[in-house]
Structures are given as C-alpha cells and as structure tokens.
Amino acid sequence: MQRLVLLFAALIVPAASGAATVPPPPALAAKSWVLMDAASGSVLVDQQGSQRLPPASLTKLMTSHVAALEMQRGRLKESDLVNISEKAWRMGGSKMFVKVGNQVSVHDLMRGIIVQSGNDASIALAEHIAGGEETFASMMNQEARRLGLANTFFVNATGWPDPNHYSSALDMARLARAIILEDPAHYALYAEKEFVWNGIKQPNRNLLLWRDPTVDGLKTGHTDEAGYCLVASGKRDGQRLIAVVFGTDSEQARANETAKLLGYGFNFFDSKIFFKKGETVQSVDVWKGAARTVKAGVAADFAAALPKRASGEYQTRIVLAGGDVIAPVAAGAALGRVELVGAGGKVVTQAPLVALEAVEAGGFFRRSWDSIRLFFRHLFG
C-alpha cells in the first residue's frame, strides 16, 4: 500500500484549472511551431510540432552540440587545430570562408558554425572529430536517440537538402534545451552578433539578438525547401523559454513570428522550480542498513510552467513506494515520486523520487535486530 506524505504548506501559484483565463496562442504564418519552458521541458504551444520537415541550418545545432560533448569528454579541445580539407573548402551555401590547407582552431570553427552558419566550418569540424562527415552524422543520430528526438534523422552536418534528412519543431526545442542545460560553457556563443574571419565580418542572422535584449540564442536556418526557420531562446525575470518556428517566408517573418511566440509565453506563463536537482526533499527510513535513513530528492530540477493569471493552491507531495526500504540502497534507486497537485487533487506534473546517496548493508547485529523489528511490525500491522 502506498504511503502519502504532504510536504510544506500550500504554495500559492497559478492553477491549471484556471487555464481558461489564458488566451489561445497566436496563429503564426509558418508551417509548424513550438513553445517550450526550458526549466521543466513543458510544451506550452504545439502546432504541428512533430511534423517532419527539412531543418536546413538548424542542423548545425546538433553539429555544435556533438562537438561540445566531445570537449566535455576530453576528446577535443578548443585550442586544437583543424586541417581544412578540399571538401570543406568547396562546400557551397553559407560559408565561414576558411581556405583549403589552413589550420583553424576548434573555437573559431565553433563560432563559424554558430554565428556565421558556415557549411565549410561544419564539414571541417565533422571530419576532424569523426574522420568523415558520414561517420559524424552517425554520431549526431546517436545523440538524437539519447535525447529522444523521435522525428529527427541527419545525413550531414550542415542541413544541406536531402530527402532523408529531417527534424521537427518539437525535436529542435528539445535539442535547444539540451544545449542550454548541458553545455552552459558554450552557450554564450549563440548570443554573439557577429564574427570576423579571413577579413570578412558576418552578422548573426538571428534578428532577435538585435531587437530583444532578453534573447540570447540560438540558430537560424534557410533553404528553398525549408523556408526560413528559427530556434530562439530568451530569459526574463529568471524564466527561460524556447521558441521554434519552421517554414516562414522571409527573414523578417521568422523573427516576427518567433517574437510573437516568446511574447505570448512570457506574458501568460510562469515557470517555477519547486525542488532543485540534488536537493534533499525528504529522509526515508532504511532497514538493515549502516544508516537509519537515506536522503531522497529528484534527479533533475522539479519544475512546472503554470498560467500566470489563474488562482488557486498547489501542493507538492511525496508518494513513497510501497514496502520497506531494505539496505543496501544504491544512489539513484527509485523510492517513490514527487507530485505537484492542483485544484481538485489533479496531478499537474510528477517526477521520480530517488536516493541521493548510497546506504550500505549494516553489520550482523543491525541486520538481525531490524529483522526482529520488521517481523513484529508486520505482525501487528
């Protein structure tokens, strides 16, 4: 039988039951779009967000993300020099204008990819990391699977048109969230407004970086087939939102439509973090262990995006899994779940409650004594 424990007093936050007070999202002149709360991953607006579409240069978000992960793993350094191949040099489309035979640092290539949307820089870095663009595309798809991007498949590092190369607005929002949360060290690159290489100054094509000081990323894309696309993120009063728009008809339109989406989210939703990753939410009794209790919490921030203009009480509560917790207990072991409960007892969101530490088995006498205590505990209910 499950045991229910209510934590803290009622928290006064907007109620999901008041969703009727939130106006419908704007209709955009685009093929598909998604608005996501970065803290919780909650999708606030979804218009054909799972539709598979050509992502154009939005692809380079995954190219730069894979490179950043390689740096985190110690297999790549920002100071590493990359030889520019003839294939990279000859690549058409948007370019960083690297020259064949040159050696360019990984850091400069990252800026060439993110700020200038350089196809040549993307291929050069892909070849350096994986030995070839095709192998690098396999690495991109492995990361896509890890992130649960069900409607994404890459065949190249640039977004060059290919019938088997596709993504979706929802998947791109999830990828952007991973970039923001998993690689904060490189996220500042996405806010750079211009980059000069080979004597050529090129501006970032994300017009919102100039129009809205709260916007600090991420990436544009354009081909004839894809139209004009944009993944943008902004942060206001501690709240970060991610907006993705696919298939507008101009640079101005993609900026305007994305701004509408961000404005809607910031005006009508609040993002709240109720428990931080690794924070002790509760101590849970442990039997036959070297310790009597184990610290329990959440493996990722427990957050929710809720309507601003609704009213009502929310309570966080812990539901412990049925049965006794017997040592040994591994760090990360499931102990129950954390819930956010709104009006009428409706569960708005939930997350696993896990052990934040390991508890080894106790000594002989501790195990024996607890066995006796458990026997009588179960005997008398």
Single out the catalytic residue among 57, 85, 122, 233. 57
β-pair partners for 316: 340
What lies within 8 Å, CB to CB, of 160 at 6+ separation is 93, 119
Residue 95 falls in the annotated catalytic set: no
What lies within 8 Å, CB to CB, of 375 at 6+ separation is none
Tokens 């996405």 identify what position? 190
Compute the distance between CA of residue 154 and CA of residue 54 in angstroms, rounded to an integer: 10
Beta-strand pair 103-105/282-285? unpaired
Residue type, 239: Q
Q: Do 66 and 167 contact (CB within 8 A), yes or no? A: no
Single out the catalytic residue among 32, 40, 60, 260. 60
Single out the catalytic residue among 32, 40, 94, 117. 117
Q: Please state at what angle helix 60-72 crosses helix 119-130, rounded to 10 degrees.
A: 40
**Which tokens sit at 105?**
């640092």
DSSP string, 78-139: TT-EEEPPHHHHH--SS-----TT-EEEHHHHHHHHHTT--HHHHHHHHHHHHSSHHHHHHH
3-state SS, residue 358: coil
Residue 57 falls in the annotated catalytic set: yes
* Torsion sign over Cα 217, 218, 220, 225: negative
Residue 117 falls in the annotated catalytic set: yes
Residues noted as catalytic: 57, 60, 117
